Amino acid sequence: MNHNQSGKLAELLAAMYFIVHGFWVVRRNFITGRGTGAGEIDLIVRRGKLLVFVEVKKRGDLERAAYAIAPEQQRRIWRAAENFIKNNPQYSDYNLRFDAFLVGKRLRCSHISDAWRCE
């Protein structure tokens, strides 16, 4: 399995995890426009009035996956989330959260709820 396929499998595992836990998938692989200073959001899910932006990381172990979500990447995801809300105003009154879904060897997974906050 190549790197791209491995990443897509990790994203699929994350989507399945959130569905099992009562979330609806709003969007997968949301990419903002070039030049916005933002980036890609791997998964956007909702439950009730909670909208969760999920960063999925697959590495050799869960600790390396967690450290792979650097502060600059967190800020890019925040800007992408702002862009998503701006273009989807039906979510403007939702509570927002940023989660990490980590995948390690043998597809061992870990979900970190409210993994970071941006002000």
For residue 76, the enclosing domain spans 3-112
For 73-103, write each residue's pLDDT tens digit. Answer: 899 999 999 999 999 999 999 999 999 999 9
Q: Distance (Å, rounded) from C-alpha 78 to C-alpha 117?
A: 9
* Total domains, the chain: 1
CA distances from 71 to 16, 67, 97, 102, 107 (A): 27, 10, 16, 16, 25
Answer yes or no: is pLDDT of 10 > 70.
yes
Residues 24-78 have pLDDT tens digits of: 999 999 988 666 566 789 999 999 999 999 999 999 888 889 888 999 989 999 9
Rounded distance between C-alpha atoms, residue 45 and residue 54, angstroms = 8
pLDDT value of residue 111: 96
Report if pTM > 0.85: yes
Does residue 119 form part of some domain?
Answer: no
| Within a domain: 118 | no
Q: Which residue has the higher pLDDT, 108 or 17?
A: 17
Name residues whose C-beta falls within 8 Å of residue 60's C-beta, 6 or more positions apart in sequence.
104, 105
Whole-Å CA distances, 112 to 2, 5, 38, 83, 89: 26, 23, 22, 23, 27
Give residue 3's pLDDT.
64
DSSP assignment letter at 1: -
Whether 36 maps to a domain, the answer reads yes
